[in-house]
Each structure stands twice: as structure tokens, then as C-alpha cells.
Structure 1
Amino acid sequence: MLQKLFTTLYQAVLGNPDPASLIPVYRQSIFPGVGLYTFFLALALALLFYVVLNRVLTTPYFKSSHWAVVLLLSAVLGATIAWQKAAADINAQLASTGQQLAVGEAATLKRYLWGFTATNALVAALFFVLLSFLVKSLSVSARTTPVRWPN
């Protein structure tokens, strides 16, 4: 179920992977793996911000600027995860099949990888924002960060 969810999400934004010979790698390994890693990364960062930094520590970091830094960190780490996982899986697939990409295919692959990386950065930020609304009630100091709603 999650495999289809993340595959549908990424393909709706990016279209089919290019070159076409790598479509199975993206659908079976890259899209679901990166999507799941990104979700758990955003959850971990939301718990870090609301529970660890604003409940456990004695000095709270509850300002919106602190939240924005963690949001930016989520986006950067999401982009890093996407690039690393996709590059590793593609290189493994090409090495196992002995396939060589033409110059045009290599350029298309890089362009698609950059688009995938940027898309995953946005997905990571979106997951962090959504999970912030779910987790912020666990905080003592940051119940109203980034906004007062729904409190």
C-alpha cells in the first residue's frame, strides 16, 4: 500500500522516470524507500523539536524561528536522502545489468534525479508541517508553535 502511495505521489509530480529502462528500479525500490525514510525523518524531527527541545530540556526553543530552522533541516535532510538512495540504487542496477547509459540518457537521468531531490525536499517539509500539528500537544513550551491553531 505504501509502495503505491509514494510511487503515485512522486510520479504525479515528476512524471515517469527517465530513462525508461530504470522505471522498475524507481517503482520498486527508490520511490517507496525514500518516501518511507522521509516520513520517519520528519516524524523524528517533529518529536525532537516538540518533545526533546521543548519538554525535556530546561531551556525551551519555542520560537517560530527555531521551528523554521528545524523545517529547513527537514528539507535538506530529505533532499540528501533522496539523492543518496536514488544514486546508490541506480548505480547498483546499472552495475548488475552491465548497462551503459548514452550521453543523452545520462543527462536526462541527472535532470530527473535533481527534480526528484527537490520534490523530496518539499515532501519532507510538508510531512514535518503536518506532523507538527499532530505532535505539538506533547510539548510544554511550544504548544502554539508555529501557529496557535488548533489550540
Structure 2
Amino acid sequence: MKGFFRALYEVIGSPQPSSEVPVYREVIFPNIGLLNLGITLALLVLFYLVINRWMRVATFSRPSHWAIMLLLNVIIAFVIVLAQVNGQNVVSHSYVYWLALLNALYAALFFFLFSLIFRKLSVNASTTPF
């Protein structure tokens, strides 16, 4: 799993400063990757299953509501990186913000792709996002 997240997050280059590379590869990349997937799945379950299937809230099933959940997911993914890096006492560097931006982009991509699966489970939002 560490190798997968390492390949995923080193697309933008090697972590900086180079003395912190082991911390990124062994701790930060797997943590933010798993948190990203977990939070994305949790928000999708909340939107498609809890709100639009079991609660049947027909007023929260529009594409604009889906976009709100997507934006919330992206913001959380960005903040997760900053929190993980600060939690590991890694030197603050511009790489951290690029990593946070990349994680936010991955969160949006995962949210969209998993939406294609979860929307079939919903009653009211089965056509959301399109």
C-alpha cells in the first residue's frame, strides 16, 4: 500500500527537504491516502445512502448539492495534508502546499468516480451528478 501511495503522491516530485523523504514515504503518504479514500467514501455514503435513500430528502438531490459535497470533500482533503505534516513535525516547505493541492485533486477525482457507483444505490439522487 505504501508503494501505491508513494507513486500516487510523488507525481509532483520528491518530498522536500530531502532529509524528510522517509517520513513522507513511510507515514504521511499512506496516512493521507487512506484518509482521503475513507472520507470520500463516508461523504458519498452520507449523500447517496443516508440523505437520499434512507431519509428520502428529495430537496437535497440536485447537482448543486452534489457539488457542495464535492467541495466539502476537496477542502477536507487539503486540510488533511496540512494536519498530517504538522503532526509529524515536518519542516514547512512549498512542497507541502503542492501536496495538499494534489491530494485535493485526487479527492475530487475519487469523489466523481465513486459517485458513478453510489448513485445507483440512491432513490432520489440516482441521476446526480448528471
For normalisation by structure 1, the TM-score amounts to: 0.82
Q: 2:13 aligns with which of 15, 22, 29?
A: 15
1:99-118 mapped onto 2 (5 Å cutoff): 109-118=92-101
Quote the sequence identity (%).
40
Distance in 1, matches of 2:63 and 2:24, equals: 36
Distance in 2, matches of 1:64 and 1:8, equals: 32
Alignment root-mean-square deviation, CA: 1.2
Structure 1 segments unaligned to the other structure (5+ residues): 95-105
Structure 2 segments unaligned to the other structure (5+ residues): none
Larger radius of gyration: 1
For normalisation by structure 2, the TM-score amounts to: 0.94
* TM-fit CA distance, 1:77: 0.5
* Number of positions where the alignment pairs a residue of Structure 1 with one of Structure 2: 129
* TM-fit CA distance, 1:136: 1.0
CA contact (8 A) 2:56 2:124 kept: no
Moved over 2 A (4+): none
Read off the aligned partner of 2:29 and give its amino acid letter.
Answer: F
Q: 1:129 aligns with which of 80, 105, 112?
A: 112
| 2:6 paired with 1:3 | no
Distance in 1, matches of 2:85 and 2:7, equals: 17
Q: 1:43 aligns with which of 41, 44, 49?
A: 41
| 2:100 paired with 1:144 | no
